[in-house]
Amino acid sequence: MEPRKERLLAYVIVIVLFLVGVVSYAAYPDRKHEQPPRVMLKNTAGSVLLDHKQHSISSGYAVPCMDCHHEMDDEKSRPQSCNECHTAEGEDTPKRSDAFHQLCKGCHEDGGIGPVECAGCHMM
């Protein structure tokens, strides 16, 4: 095969693969989760990875949404982020870290399940 035909064949293959990629991407878009499977809570003491799915599903801990997202009107409404009310400074509401420690650690202690020591949650 002559070099010109080989180059043309290579271009055709590249174009076909590109089109297949574009069509595949458009046909199967990444679907949004109704709720995040995991949430990274960033802070100065070391970020905390919350397995949101494990806490909320019935085969997991089955914690009702409103136990943590206390500002929700009902189970069907979309919860707002904790950071919207609980800031790092905690001017009008408890500081974010205090709210998390009270809610999360308190629930772990009450239920006798989950970490209660700093290193159990915080990734140093």
CA distance 122 to 20: 43
116 and 55 share a domain? Answer: yes
Judge if 119 and 82 occupy the same domain.
Answer: yes
* The residue type at 83: N
How far is Cα 105 from Cα 58, in angstroms, rounded to an integer? Answer: 21
User: What is the number of structural domains in the chain?
Assistant: 2
Based on the fold, state whether residues 21 and 55 are members of the same structural domain: no
Yes or no: say if 19 and 93 are a contact pair by the CB < 8 Å rule: no
Read off the pLDDT of each residue in 93-102 and give the average, rounded to a whole number: 88
Tally: H helices and E strands in the chain: 6, 3
Which CATH number is 75's domain given? Answer: 3.90.10.10
Same domain (yes/no): 44, 20 = no
Q: Give pLDDT, residue 3.
A: 87
Tens-digit pLDDT profile for residues 35-53: 778 888 888 888 999 998 8
On whether both 43 and 103 belong to a single domain, the answer is: yes
Percentage with pLDDT > 90 across the chain: 25
- Tell me what the mean pLDDT of segment 8-32 comes to: 89
Q: Which domain holds residue 5?
A: 1-31
Two tokens, residue 109: 């202690």
Identify which has the larger pLDDT, 110 or 76: 110
Based on the domain organization, do 97 and 56 belong to the same domain? Answer: yes
Burial class (CB in 10 A: 0-12, 13-18, 19+), 121: buried
Cβ–Cβ under 8 Å, residues 35 and 56: yes
Q: Is the pLDDT of residue 27 over 80?
A: yes
Q: Are residues 44 and 98 in the same domain?
A: yes
CA distance 80 to 87: 13
Residue 33: band (very low, low, confident or very high) from pLDDT cuts 50, 70, 90: low
Q: How confident is the model at residue 28 (pLDDT cuts 50, 70, 90)?
A: confident
Do 23 and 69 sit in the same domain of this protein?
Answer: no
Count of CB atoms situated within 10 Å of the CB of 82: 19
Residue 20 shares a structural domain with residue 43: no
Q: Looking at the structure, do residues 48 and 83 belong to the same domain, yes or no?
A: yes
State whether 52 and 8 are in the same domain: no
